[in-house]
Structure 1
Amino acid sequence: MRGMGNMQGMMKKMQKMQKEMMEAQEALNAQQFEGSAGGGVVKVIINGQREILEVNLDESVVDPEDIEMLQDLIVVATNDALKKVEETTNSTMGKFTQGLNLPF
Protein backbone atom coordinates (compact mmCIF):
# COMPACT_ATOMS: atom_id res chain seq x y z
CA MET A 1 0.00 0.00 0.00
CA ARG A 2 2.88 2.28 0.76
CA GLY A 3 4.26 2.00 -2.77
CA MET A 4 0.99 3.38 -4.19
CA GLY A 5 1.43 6.60 -2.23
CA ASN A 6 4.90 7.06 -3.68
CA MET A 7 3.59 6.41 -7.18
CA GLN A 8 0.77 8.93 -6.75
CA GLY A 9 3.20 11.50 -5.42
CA MET A 10 5.51 10.94 -8.34
CA MET A 11 2.60 11.26 -10.80
CA LYS A 12 1.56 14.56 -9.22
CA LYS A 13 5.11 15.86 -9.50
CA MET A 14 5.26 14.82 -13.16
CA GLN A 15 1.93 16.51 -13.90
CA LYS A 16 3.13 19.68 -12.18
CA MET A 17 6.38 19.61 -14.14
CA GLN A 18 4.48 19.04 -17.39
CA LYS A 19 2.23 22.02 -16.66
CA GLU A 20 5.24 24.21 -15.87
CA MET A 21 6.95 23.09 -19.09
CA MET A 22 3.88 23.95 -21.16
CA GLU A 23 3.63 27.38 -19.53
CA ALA A 24 7.33 28.03 -20.13
CA GLN A 25 7.01 26.95 -23.79
CA GLU A 26 3.98 29.21 -24.29
CA ALA A 27 5.90 32.15 -22.82
CA LEU A 28 8.85 31.41 -25.11
CA ASN A 29 6.59 31.19 -28.15
CA ALA A 30 5.12 34.61 -27.40
CA GLN A 31 8.50 36.23 -26.83
CA GLN A 32 10.13 38.26 -29.62
CA PHE A 33 13.80 38.08 -30.56
CA GLU A 34 15.76 40.55 -32.66
CA GLY A 35 18.72 39.68 -34.78
CA SER A 36 20.80 42.30 -36.54
CA ALA A 37 23.60 42.64 -39.04
CA GLY A 38 25.73 45.37 -40.54
CA GLY A 39 25.81 47.38 -37.34
CA GLY A 40 22.03 47.39 -37.09
CA VAL A 41 21.17 48.41 -40.66
CA VAL A 42 19.33 45.09 -41.07
CA LYS A 43 17.09 43.79 -38.29
CA VAL A 44 14.97 40.66 -38.21
CA ILE A 45 12.39 40.06 -35.51
CA ILE A 46 11.12 36.53 -34.90
CA ASN A 47 9.03 34.87 -32.24
CA GLY A 48 9.82 31.85 -30.12
CA GLN A 49 8.14 29.62 -32.69
CA ARG A 50 10.84 30.73 -35.13
CA GLU A 51 8.40 32.66 -37.32
CA ILE A 52 9.70 35.84 -38.94
CA LEU A 53 7.56 38.78 -37.82
CA GLU A 54 9.47 41.72 -39.29
CA VAL A 55 12.41 42.58 -41.49
CA ASN A 56 13.65 46.15 -41.11
CA LEU A 57 16.12 47.66 -43.54
CA ASP A 58 17.87 50.98 -43.20
CA GLU A 59 17.69 52.94 -46.47
CA SER A 60 21.48 53.12 -46.59
CA VAL A 61 21.76 49.37 -47.10
CA VAL A 62 19.44 49.26 -50.12
CA ASP A 63 21.76 49.47 -53.10
CA PRO A 64 20.34 48.14 -56.39
CA GLU A 65 23.92 47.57 -57.56
CA ASP A 66 24.71 45.27 -54.62
CA ILE A 67 21.70 43.05 -53.94
CA GLU A 68 23.98 40.20 -52.81
CA MET A 69 25.23 42.20 -49.84
CA LEU A 70 21.67 42.92 -48.72
CA GLN A 71 20.75 39.26 -49.07
CA ASP A 72 23.78 38.26 -47.00
CA LEU A 73 22.90 40.78 -44.30
CA ILE A 74 19.33 39.46 -44.10
CA VAL A 75 20.63 35.90 -43.71
CA VAL A 76 23.08 36.98 -40.98
CA ALA A 77 20.38 38.91 -39.09
CA THR A 78 17.94 36.00 -39.35
CA ASN A 79 20.53 33.52 -38.09
CA ASP A 80 21.38 35.90 -35.24
CA ALA A 81 17.73 36.00 -34.17
CA LEU A 82 17.39 32.22 -34.47
CA LYS A 83 20.50 31.76 -32.32
CA LYS A 84 18.93 33.94 -29.62
CA VAL A 85 15.75 31.85 -29.68
CA GLU A 86 17.80 28.66 -29.40
CA GLU A 87 19.88 29.97 -26.49
CA THR A 88 16.81 31.21 -24.61
CA THR A 89 14.94 27.96 -25.26
CA ASN A 90 17.88 25.89 -24.04
CA SER A 91 18.30 27.92 -20.87
CA THR A 92 14.56 27.99 -20.11
CA MET A 93 13.58 24.46 -21.04
CA GLY A 94 16.87 22.87 -20.06
CA LYS A 95 15.97 22.95 -16.39
CA PHE A 96 13.04 20.62 -17.13
CA THR A 97 14.87 18.19 -19.38
CA GLN A 98 18.25 18.12 -17.68
CA GLY A 99 19.72 14.67 -18.13
CA LEU A 100 16.73 13.34 -20.07
CA ASN A 101 18.04 14.06 -23.60
CA LEU A 102 14.60 15.12 -24.84
CA PRO A 103 13.85 17.43 -27.78
CA PHE A 104 11.97 20.67 -27.12
Structure 2
Amino acid sequence: MLKGLGGLGGLGDMAKMMKAAQEMQAKMAEMQEQMASTVVVGESGAGLVKVRATAKGEVTGLDIDPSILVASEKEVVEDLIIAAIKDAQVRGQNRMAEEMRRMTEALGLPADMKLPF
Protein backbone atom coordinates (compact mmCIF):
# COMPACT_ATOMS: atom_id res chain seq x y z
CA MET A 1 0.00 0.00 0.00
CA LEU A 2 1.16 3.50 -0.79
CA LYS A 3 1.58 5.81 2.14
CA GLY A 4 0.78 8.98 0.23
CA LEU A 5 3.36 10.89 -1.74
CA GLY A 6 5.51 11.89 1.21
CA GLY A 7 8.50 10.10 -0.32
CA LEU A 8 8.56 12.54 -3.25
CA GLY A 9 9.69 15.37 -0.97
CA GLY A 10 13.20 13.97 -1.28
CA LEU A 11 13.02 14.39 -5.06
CA GLY A 12 12.26 18.08 -4.61
CA ASP A 13 15.33 18.43 -2.41
CA MET A 14 17.38 16.57 -5.02
CA ALA A 15 16.13 18.94 -7.73
CA LYS A 16 17.18 21.93 -5.61
CA MET A 17 20.60 20.38 -5.06
CA MET A 18 21.00 19.73 -8.81
CA LYS A 19 20.03 23.31 -9.62
CA ALA A 20 22.50 24.62 -7.03
CA ALA A 21 25.21 22.37 -8.49
CA GLN A 22 24.50 23.69 -12.00
CA GLU A 23 24.65 27.28 -10.74
CA MET A 24 27.93 26.56 -9.00
CA GLN A 25 29.33 24.97 -12.17
CA ALA A 26 28.35 28.06 -14.18
CA LYS A 27 29.97 30.33 -11.61
CA MET A 28 33.13 28.19 -11.66
CA ALA A 29 33.32 28.46 -15.46
CA GLU A 30 32.82 32.22 -15.25
CA MET A 31 35.54 32.52 -12.61
CA GLN A 32 37.94 30.42 -14.71
CA GLU A 33 37.39 32.78 -17.65
CA GLN A 34 37.91 35.78 -15.41
CA MET A 35 41.16 34.34 -14.01
CA ALA A 36 42.41 33.70 -17.55
CA SER A 37 42.16 37.44 -18.22
CA THR A 38 43.29 38.65 -14.79
CA VAL A 39 46.92 39.78 -14.90
CA VAL A 40 49.31 39.44 -11.98
CA VAL A 41 52.88 40.74 -11.88
CA GLY A 42 55.70 38.84 -10.25
CA GLU A 43 59.07 40.38 -9.66
CA SER A 44 62.54 39.67 -8.40
CA GLY A 45 65.76 41.56 -7.79
CA ALA A 46 63.85 44.46 -6.23
CA GLY A 47 61.94 44.94 -9.47
CA LEU A 48 64.83 44.42 -11.89
CA VAL A 49 62.89 41.55 -13.48
CA LYS A 50 59.11 41.60 -13.81
CA VAL A 51 56.87 38.88 -15.23
CA ARG A 52 53.27 39.38 -16.25
CA ALA A 53 51.05 36.32 -16.13
CA THR A 54 47.41 35.42 -15.96
CA ALA A 55 46.06 34.33 -12.59
CA LYS A 56 45.90 30.85 -14.16
CA GLY A 57 49.70 30.90 -14.54
CA GLU A 58 50.20 31.65 -18.25
CA VAL A 59 53.21 33.95 -18.67
CA THR A 60 52.30 36.83 -20.98
CA GLY A 61 55.20 39.25 -20.63
CA LEU A 62 58.70 39.84 -19.34
CA ASP A 63 60.48 43.07 -18.45
CA ILE A 64 64.20 43.08 -17.66
CA ASP A 65 65.99 46.20 -16.50
CA PRO A 66 68.80 46.75 -19.05
CA SER A 67 71.30 47.47 -16.29
CA ILE A 68 71.59 43.75 -15.52
CA LEU A 69 72.08 42.64 -19.12
CA VAL A 70 75.82 42.08 -19.06
CA ALA A 71 77.44 38.86 -20.19
CA SER A 72 79.19 38.24 -16.88
CA GLU A 73 75.80 38.33 -15.06
CA LYS A 74 74.06 35.81 -17.35
CA GLU A 75 73.41 33.24 -14.58
CA VAL A 76 72.15 35.93 -12.19
CA VAL A 77 69.72 37.19 -14.83
CA GLU A 78 68.49 33.65 -15.49
CA ASP A 79 67.93 33.10 -11.75
CA LEU A 80 66.07 36.42 -11.49
CA ILE A 81 63.82 35.46 -14.40
CA ILE A 82 62.97 32.11 -12.81
CA ALA A 83 62.33 33.80 -9.45
CA ALA A 84 60.03 36.38 -11.07
CA ILE A 85 58.08 33.64 -12.89
CA LYS A 86 57.65 31.73 -9.63
CA ASP A 87 56.52 34.93 -7.89
CA ALA A 88 53.93 35.55 -10.61
CA GLN A 89 52.70 31.96 -10.32
CA VAL A 90 52.32 32.26 -6.54
CA ARG A 91 50.47 35.57 -6.93
CA GLY A 92 48.17 33.94 -9.49
CA GLN A 93 47.50 30.95 -7.23
CA ASN A 94 46.76 33.28 -4.33
CA ARG A 95 44.36 35.30 -6.49
CA MET A 96 42.64 32.10 -7.63
CA ALA A 97 42.33 30.87 -4.03
CA GLU A 98 40.89 34.24 -2.98
CA GLU A 99 38.27 34.07 -5.74
CA MET A 100 37.41 30.47 -4.82
CA ARG A 101 36.96 31.51 -1.18
CA ARG A 102 34.65 34.35 -2.23
CA MET A 103 32.63 31.99 -4.40
CA THR A 104 32.20 29.35 -1.71
CA GLU A 105 31.13 31.99 0.79
CA ALA A 106 28.66 33.48 -1.72
CA LEU A 107 27.18 30.01 -2.15
CA GLY A 108 26.82 29.65 1.61
CA LEU A 109 29.51 26.98 1.83
CA PRO A 110 32.35 26.90 4.34
CA ALA A 111 35.20 29.20 3.19
CA ASP A 112 37.75 26.40 3.40
CA MET A 113 35.71 23.98 1.30
CA LYS A 114 37.67 22.79 -1.73
CA LEU A 115 35.98 23.28 -5.11
CA PRO A 116 35.41 21.58 -7.41
CA PHE A 117 34.52 18.61 -5.28
Unaligned runs of 5+ in 2: 1-7, 105-110
Unaligned runs of 5+ in 1: none
TM-score computed with the length of structure 1 as normaliser: 0.87
Q: How far 1:65 moved relative to its partner? A: 1.2
- Structure 1 ranges of 4+ moved more than 4 A: 100-103
Q: How far 1:101 moved relative to its partner? A: 6.8
- Amino-acid identity (%): 29
Q: Which residue of 1 aligns with 2:52?
A: 45
Query: Residue type of the partner of 2:83?
Result: V
Count of aligned pairs between the two proteins:
103
The answer to whether the aligner puts 1:99 opposite 2:106 as a matched pair is no
Cα-Cα RMSD:
1.9
Q: 1:17 to 1:101 in 2, by over 3 A?
A: closer
More relative contact order, 1 or 2 (CA 8 Å, 6+ apart): 1
After superposition, what is the alpha-carbon deviation per residue over 1:37-94, rounded to whole angstroms, capped at 9, x for unaligned?
Answer: 1111111111133221111111111111110110111011111100001111112124
Q: 1:7 to 1:101 in 2, by over 3 A?
A: closer
Query: Residue type of the partner of 1:41?
Result: L
